[in-house]
């Protein structure tokens, strides 16, 4: 039987008599493979469907119309990112995707309001886009806070240890469109070349087709089913650094379809801590992972900028 990533049930977290079981299962999954599928996630399926419907309409627009929503002056951290711009670290072939990015909206008088670019929306051509995408961002981020609380408990920390680091952090919802594979695609290019996520944790709200694969310990690939009934969760580089590798940031990819003619959409939420959070491995985790710090001292903001340069989304 083919290996699968672990499956967890959010109802266990909400049941005081089973919460400890959930915490243990989640922690063990992040220690082992760095991924799990979350069932009964409580996010309204109609909201998910609405977000995907609006995404489908937007990405079907003429290229010139989509490019009106590209913002080079903010390094494309909000709005439209054209096809072929991003590439995996160390891989010069572009990923075969285009996407939209939205993030946190803070009141103008908030002390961190000037840290994040302002969201932009295609309201004049797609009035429902903001409601569905921003609504999904809020629901997924709410869920992410619960999962960070569970991770904190597993690590023997106060429940809000990790969620407080991510409170009002630079979290991003990315709406990704993988179009059919063109005959002139660059040699070796795939929908998303193998990579690790940059952030604390990622929540992927289903997808409209299969294609996601996670690298197992022996270098083989675990296929992950795409549907809206479970959310795929993985730990990223920043959480791996903080825990000195106790929680894994595991290599994954999105492969091309067999028929080359089908679209694929997905919507990952990349949960980031504050830019000033120190990612230096904590001594207590160094002690249980071999006694030597495996990752450098760096802030979350510095690390994010470094990685965005490496994947082609920003420059000095």
What pLDDT shows up at residue 260? 73
Instruction: List, in order of start, the domains of the chain with CATH numbers.
Output: 7-103+117-310 (2.60.120.330)
SS3 label, residue 278: strand
User: Rounded CA gap, 244 and 238, in Å?
Assistant: 10
* 249, 239 Cβ separation under 8 angstroms: yes
SS3 call for 195: strand
Q: 254's torsion region: left (phi>0), alpha (psi -120 to 50) or beta?
A: beta
Q: How far apart are CA 267 and CA 300, in angstroms?
A: 23
> Rounded distance, CA 226 to CA 209, Å?
5
Exposure string over 67-94, b if 16+ CB within 10 A, otherwise e? eebebeeeebbbbbbebbbbbbeeeeeb
d(CA 300, CA 236): 12
Whole-number Cα distances in Å, 31 to 6, 234, 235, 243: 12, 11, 9, 10
**pLDDT digit string (tens) for the chain, length 316 residues:** 678 999 999 999 999 999 999 999 999 999 999 999 999 999 999 999 999 999 999 999 999 999 999 999 988 999 999 998 888 887 778 899 999 999 987 778 888 778 788 899 998 889 999 999 999 999 999 999 999 999 999 999 999 999 999 998 899 999 999 999 888 888 888 999 999 999 999 999 877 888 999 999 999 999 998 777 899 999 999 999 999 999 999 999 999 988 877 899 999 999 999 999 999 999 999 999 999 999 999 999 999 989 888 877 765 5
Question: What pLDDT is stored for residue 224 in this prediction?
Answer: 93
């Amino acid at each position: 039987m083919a290996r699968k990533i672990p499956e967890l049930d959010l109802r266990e977290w909400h049941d005081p008599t089973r919460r400890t079981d959930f915490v243990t299962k989640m922690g063990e999954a992040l220690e082992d493979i760095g991924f799990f599928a979350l069932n009964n996630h409580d996010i309204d399926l109609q909201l998910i469907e609405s977000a995907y419907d609006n995404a489908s309409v937007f990405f079907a627009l003429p290229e010139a119309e989509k490019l009106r929503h590209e913002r080079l002056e903010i390094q494309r951290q909000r709005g439209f990112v054209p096809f072929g711009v991003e590439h995996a670290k160390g891989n010069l072939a572009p990923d075969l995707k285009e996407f939209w990015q939205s993030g946190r909206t803070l009141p103008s008088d908030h002390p961190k309001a000037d840290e994040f670019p302002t969201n932009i929306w295609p309201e004049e051509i797609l009035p429902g886009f903001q409601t569905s995408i921003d609504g999904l961002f809020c629901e997924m981020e709410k869920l992410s806070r619960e999962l960070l609380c569970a991770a904190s408990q597993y690590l023997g920390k106060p429940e809000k240890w990790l969620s407080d680091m991510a409170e009002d952090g630079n979290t991003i919802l990315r709406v990704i469109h993988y179009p059919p594979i063109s005959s002139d695609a660059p040699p070796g290019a795939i929908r998303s070349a193998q990579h690790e996520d940059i952030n604390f944790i990622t929540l992927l709200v289903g997808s409209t087709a299969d294609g996601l694969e996670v690298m197992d310990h022996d270098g083989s690939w675990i296929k992950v089913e795409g549907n809206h009934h479970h959310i795929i969760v993985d730990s990223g580089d920043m959480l791996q650094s903080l825990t000195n590798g106790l929680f894994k940031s595991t290599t994954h990819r999105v492969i091309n379809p067999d028929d080359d003619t089908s679209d694929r959409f997905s919507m990952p939420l990349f949960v980031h801590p504050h830019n000033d959070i120190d990612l230096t491995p904590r001594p207590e985790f160094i002690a249980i992972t071999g006694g030597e710090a495996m990752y450098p001292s760096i802030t979350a903001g510095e690390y994010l900028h470094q990685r965005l340069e490496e994947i082609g989304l920003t420059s000095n």
